[in-house]
Structure 1
């Protein structure tokens, strides 16, 4: 059973793991409870580390062709003043690529297309996962039991597999922020590829796509579970005095397209990403706040690192130990940095720290800003063969 794997969860991380494992010779089944694998969502930014992971999986070229480079933009105040400008060309020179913006659904489709249809077991929920003997793990899907030599739990922030492996862990906790987001129905006239605007206790940002549409997101500091009868109308009210193109982005959006989710994270971090022949990957292992745009990129790194470890280690157990040793320190450090970025960004509300932060950002040289970004973007994938 050593070359057969079941992946629980058919999101970006799960599909990437399936591609990686197949590239190193494993037979893979992806179990996904959704009846339609379209990964509805807004947009995603892919930094150099995520793009390199996609290159290692053989889908980087297709993803780049469907993406738009983020060369212009930066961070602004609600009145439109610039706190920091993005130098996409300098970043590209440093790491070989700009950050790329792509609709999440497009990325998901490209990953699905890299897998044989028979790999995907759609509309089937993994009710339980159990190691039943040396090298054998069972996954219960209704009345069907799948047997494998490895199970990869990529079932998201609410992972049921993680709950069973670590019953004493408190699980995901509310970060203090809630996010509303959507993709515009039609193209929008934008002067920049990417922007963040920080107000007191709020953030608004956009990512421009290749087809002229854009993803926008609004982050609000509110109690967990807060919801609005008319989310789009509420955002138009809250952001009515913020700079262009924020009103235009909201005006180009259909009310039914708006998604609203509380931002949760895993805190404290997990003590391990592997137990027996079961590995945790992506949000199931290290769900983080989106402030650095690294959630999906870290999941992609996980997928490549896991496949490489399985390809070269003397045993599956040794491979999972190596995977844990490589991935846990890095991904948990990125999660801490993302949390800190949120505290220094939209979470600030008092005028004095907001003024101090804005002044510091305006005085930070562009080269220093690029160096800070590179701390997380610089990652070289292992060779998958």
Structure 2
């Protein structure tokens, strides 16, 4: 029996590792002709590290990243709106705030898949159900047949669009620039996100003396103006924000920028289609406001391996996976979308009101949400 995974991102690679460790052979088909060390930084919360521990690779992942002492939301003058202490996180969930370069995480994951199971330059564009299984058609003209298919090829998955043509990505209302730069001498030990009337700016230290930063501003979708933005434009936009934001931008060059509109997927009616299953961003892409996109993708792989181990068939496992994962991932999508709307308020009166509410919010409210995210069993 052949199990195919479309997409060698975080979801696809984690799933391959989890399944292979259950003795289920898998093959991964990746559209890119080569795996390049690209991308920016990302955070991995306690639920993601728990999942990695379950499959035995947490220490390798942790060694490639950096633990932080806190996560803080500030206003544009640098005053605290909300904060989470990593010591408290560690005591309650067993892990501090953690950050890693996406390329480093990919490297670790690739190191743990079975040799010879990753096939590059294989962009799946169509499929056909046959008596022999699921025939996959690739952009290069080749085909292959698998018995079970796991779609992990992202928010714009062409196969998902054939299965659910009515489902389209939803624009969140803001666009984003990211970059990873050499640390210009800043003493950074926390993840910081600043909410201001001109937009949102976040920065975190990475391993190997790097800094990852991102900037989001409200804008029309597919804006030619935003696409043409360079580092000079961003320096002007955030010039009045607190230190070290101007300094970070001063040490960034235009060629280092990664730009894209922020989108998610509205609630999919289903993730399972018999011997076909949607996971990761192909099934539940979320905005990055809760730092849970990669975390939920990682959870997917571990949960699928566990339910398949107990099921009589892949189709049965896919149905069980959907029952377990759909409510949780859709909750994350909704919460993250709402948080983004709140973070991107521009009216000064509403901004001041929001900041005041967040400052007086009882710690139990934050704790309740973190418990829902982090207290997960595999």
The TM-score range, normalised by the shorter chain, is over 0.9
State the shift of 1:271 in Å. 0.8
- Cα distance between partner residues in 2 of 1:185 and 1:305: 37
1:219 aligns with 2:216: yes
Superposed, which structure 2 residues align to 1:82-161 within 5 Å? 82-133=80-131, 136-141=133-138, 142-161=140-159
Q: Structure 1 residue aligned with 2:349, among 325, 347, 352?
A: 352
Q: Is the 8 A contact 2:70 2:97 kept in 1?
A: no
Residue aligned with 2:116, SS: helix
State the shift of 1:144 in Å. 2.7
Q: Is the 8 A contact 2:155 2:282 kept in 1?
A: yes
Superposed, which structure 2 residues align to 1:195-344 within 5 Å? 195-200=192-197, 202-226=199-223, 227-267=226-266, 269-344=267-342
1:19 aligns with 2:17: yes
* Correspondence for 1:9: 7
- Cα distance between partner residues in 1 of 2:153 and 2:369: 31
Residue aligned with 1:184, SS: strand
* Correspondence for 1:374: 371
Q: Where does structure 1 lack aligned partners over 5 or more consecutive residues?
A: none
TM-score by length of 2: 0.95
248-257 or 300-309: which moved more? Answer: 248-257
**Aligned pair in 2 of structure 1 residues 58, 177: CA closer, same or farther (>3 Å)?**
same
- Cα distance between partner residues in 1 of 2:247 and 2:3: 47
- Cα distance between partner residues in 2 of 1:17 and 1:187: 37
State the shift of 1:166 in Å. 1.0
State the shift of 1:99 in Å. 2.0
Residue aligned with 2:124, SS: coil
State the shift of 1:366 in Å. 4.1
- Cα distance between partner residues in 1 of 2:221 and 2:110: 33
CA offset digits 1:150-176 (Å, max 9, x no partner): 11100100011111111232x102110
Q: Structure 2 residue aligned with 1:172, among 165, 169, 172?
A: 169
**Aligned pair in 2 of structure 1 residues 329, 372: CA closer, same or farther (>3 Å)?**
closer
Q: Is the 8 A contact 1:90 1:370 kept in 2?
A: no
Q: Is the 8 A contact 1:91 1:370 kept in 2?
A: no
State the shift of 1:81 in Å. 1.1
Q: Is the 8 A contact 1:72 1:86 kept in 2?
A: yes
Q: Where does structure 2 lack aligned partners over 5 or more consecutive residues?
A: none
* Correspondence for 2:38: 40
Query: How many residues end up aligned between the 2 structures?
Result: 375
State the shift of 1:251 in Å. 2.1
CA offset digits 1:254-286 (Å, max 9, x no partner): 32111000001112x111111121100100001
State the shift of 1:360 in Å. 1.3
Q: Is the 8 A contact 2:135 2:144 kept in 1?
A: yes
Q: Structure 1 residue aligned with 2:360, among 338, 360, 363?
A: 363
Q: Is the 8 A contact 1:287 1:335 kept in 2?
A: yes
- Cα distance between partner residues in 1 of 2:342 and 2:289: 10
**Aligned pair in 2 of structure 1 residues 289, 230: CA closer, same or farther (>3 Å)?**
closer
Q: Is the 8 A contact 1:11 1:39 kept in 2?
A: no
- Cα distance between partner residues in 1 of 2:185 and 2:61: 22
State the shift of 1:83 in Å. 1.1
Q: Is the 8 A contact 1:177 1:221 kept in 2?
A: yes
User: Cα RMSD over matched residues?
Assistant: 1.6
- Cα distance between partner residues in 2 of 1:187 and 1:63: 25
